[in-house]
Amino acid sequence: MTEITGFNMLLSILLPTIAAPICYFGGRKFGRVGNGIFATFILVISTGLLLASWNRVSSGEKVIESYGVWVGLFKLNVAFLHDNLSFPISILISGIAMLAAVYSIAYMTHEHDQEMYFAALLLFTAGMVGVVLASNLILFYLFWEMMLVPSYFLIAYWGTGRPRIIGFKYFMFTHAGAASLLAGILLTYAYTATFDLLGLPNLLSSISPGMLRIIMVLMSIGFAVKLAIFPVHTWLPDAHAEAPTPISVLLSGVMIKTGAYAIVRMSITLFPSESVKVSYGLSVLAVITMLWGGFMALAQTDIKRLLAYSSVSQVGYILFGLMSLNSLGVGGGLFHIVNHGVAKGLLFMCAGAIIYSTGIRDINKLGGLASKMPLTAVATLCGALSIAGTPPFGGFASEWMIFAGGFASGNTVLSSLAIAATMVTVAYYLRMIKKVFFGVCPESLSDVKEAPSSMLLPMAILTFLTVIFGIFAFAPLQILYPAGEAVTRLIVRG
Amino acid sequence: MFTWPINLLVIFAITTPLVYTLGVKASIKKLVDVWAVIGFILSAISFYPLYLKVSSEKVLIHYWVGIQFRGVALFEIDMLSIFMAGLFIFIGLLTAIYSTRYMEHDTRHGEYYALLLLMVSGMVGVAFAGDFFTLFIFWEVMCLTSYVLVAFRKEQWEPIEAGFKYLVMSSAGSATMLFAMSILYGIVGSLNFAYMHKALSESVTPWSMISLALIVVGFGVKAAVTPFHTWLPDAHPAAPSSISAMLSGVVIKTGVYGLIRVMMLLFTPESYHWHTAIAILAVLSMTTGNLMALLQSDLKRLLAFSSIGHIGYIIFGLSIATVYGLTGSLFHVLNHALGKALLFLCSGAFLLAAGTRDLNQLAGIGRKMKITGFTFIVGSLALAGVPPLNGFQSEFMLVLAGLQVGASRNLWYLFSALMLINILFSVGYYLRIIQVVTLHEPSESVSRVKEAPKPMLFSMVLIAILCILIGIYPGPFVNLANQAAQSVLSVESFVKLIIH
CB distance B421–A179 less than 8 Å?
yes
CB distance A175–B386 less than 8 Å?
yes
Give B-chain residues touching A69 at CB under 8 angstroms. Answer: 475
The 10s digit of each residue's pLDDT in B376-411 is 999 999 999 888 899 998 998 999 999 989 888 889
Inter-residue contact A167 to A251 (CB < 8 Å):
no
Find the length of chain A: 494
Helix axes B252-265 and B132-150, enclosed angle (nearest 10): 160
Average pLDDT, chain A: 88
What is the helix (H) or strand (E) element at residue A67, kind and residue range? strand A63-71
Please give, rounded to a whole number of angstroms, the shortest distance from the CA of A3 to a CA of chain B. 17
Read off the pLDDT of each residue in A102-106 and give the average, rounded to a whole number.
91
pLDDT at A54 over 90: no
Please give the DSSP secondary-structure letter assigned to residue B72: B
Is the CB of A142 inside 8 Å of chain B's CB atoms?
yes
How far is the C-alpha of A286 from the C-alpha of A260, rounded, in Å? Answer: 12
How far is the C-alpha of A49 from the C-alpha of A12, rounded, in Å? Answer: 6
The 10s digit of each residue's pLDDT in B415-459 is 999 999 999 889 889 999 998 888 888 888 788 888 888 999 999
The 10s digit of each residue's pLDDT in A280-303 is 999 999 999 999 999 999 999 999
Beta-carbon-side half-sphere exposure of residue A371 (alpha carbons within 13 Å):
10
Find the length of chain B: 500
* A493: confidence class by pLDDT, cuts 50, 70, 90: low
Q: Number of Cβ pairs closer than 8 Å across A and B?
A: 79
Read off the pLDDT of each residue in B344-351 and give the average, rounded to a whole number.
92
pLDDT at B331 over 80: yes
What is the helix (H) or strand (E) element at residue A66, kind and residue range? strand A63-71
Vertex A182 angle, CA A43 and B302, to 5°? 90
How far is the C-alpha of A45 from the C-alpha of A104, rounded, in Å? Answer: 18
pLDDT at B295 over 60: yes
pLDDT at B58 over 70: yes
Pairing type for strands A63-71 and B74-77 reads unpaired
Using alpha carbons, list the distances in angstroms from residue A379 to A348, A462, B377: 11, 8, 40
CB distance B475–A189 less than 8 Å?
no
Dihedral of alpha carbons A19, A24, A25, A29, sign: positive
Best probe of the B interface among A10, A73, A169, by most B CBs < 10 A, is A73
* B370: confidence class by pLDDT, cuts 50, 70, 90: confident
Read off the pLDDT of each residue in B108-123 and give the average, rounded to a whole number.
92
**How confident is the model at residue B285, as a pLDDT?**
94
Is the CB of B189 inside 8 Å of chain A's CB atoms?
no
Q: What is the CA radius of gyration of chain B?
A: 22
Please give, rounded to a whole number of angstroms, the shortest distance from the CA of B435 to a CA of chain A. 7
Read off the pLDDT of each residue in A410-418 and give the average, rounded to a whole number.
91
Read off the pLDDT of each residue in A37-48 and give the average, rounded to a whole number.
91
Please give the DSSP secondary-structure letter assigned to residue B445: G
| Bridge partners, residue A82, by sequence | A63
Best probe of the A interface among B424, B468, B480, by most A CBs < 10 A, is B424
Give A-chain residues touching B421 at CB under 8 angstroms. Answer: 179
**How confident is the model at residue B69, as a pLDDT?**
67
Q: How many domains does chain B have?
A: 1
**How confident is the model at residue B440, as a pLDDT?**
83
How far is the C-alpha of A272 from the C-alpha of A216, rounded, in Å? Answer: 10
The 10s digit of each residue's pLDDT in A299-357 is 999 999 999 999 999 999 999 999 988 889 999 999 999 999 999 999 999 999 999 99
Is the CB of B409 inside 8 Å of chain A's CB atoms?
no
pLDDT at A494 over 70: no
| Bridge partners, residue A63, by sequence | A82
**How confident is the model at residue A26, as a pLDDT?**
78
How far is the C-alpha of B372 from the C-alpha of A166, rounded, in Å? Answer: 25
DSSP characters over B211-244: HHHHHHHHHHHHHT-TTS-TTHHHHHHHS-HHHH
Nearest to A318 by CA among A296, A340, A297: A340
Please give the DSSP secondary-structure letter assigned to residue A362: B
Q: What are phi and psi of A108, to 5 degrees?
A: -85, 10
Q: Of residues B499 and A393, which shows the higher confidence score? A: A393
**How confident is the model at residue B358, as a pLDDT?**
87
**How confident is the model at residue A2, as a pLDDT?**
46
**How confident is the model at residue A1, as a pLDDT?**
41
Average pLDDT, chain B: 90
Please give, rounded to a whole number of angstroms, the shortest distance from the CA of B402 to a CA of chain A. 9
**ipTM, two decimals:** 0.83
Q: Which residue does chain B place closest to A164, by CA atoms?
A: B435
Domain range for residue B316? 4-496
Domain parsing of chain A, residue ranges: 8-493
**How confident is the model at residue A311, as a pLDDT?**
93
Residues 37-76 of A with CB under 8 A from B: 69-73
The 10s digit of each residue's pLDDT in A185-238 is 998 888 888 888 888 887 877 788 888 889 999 999 999 999 989 888 999 999
The 10s digit of each residue's pLDDT in A147-191 is 898 999 999 888 888 888 899 999 999 999 999 999 999 988 888
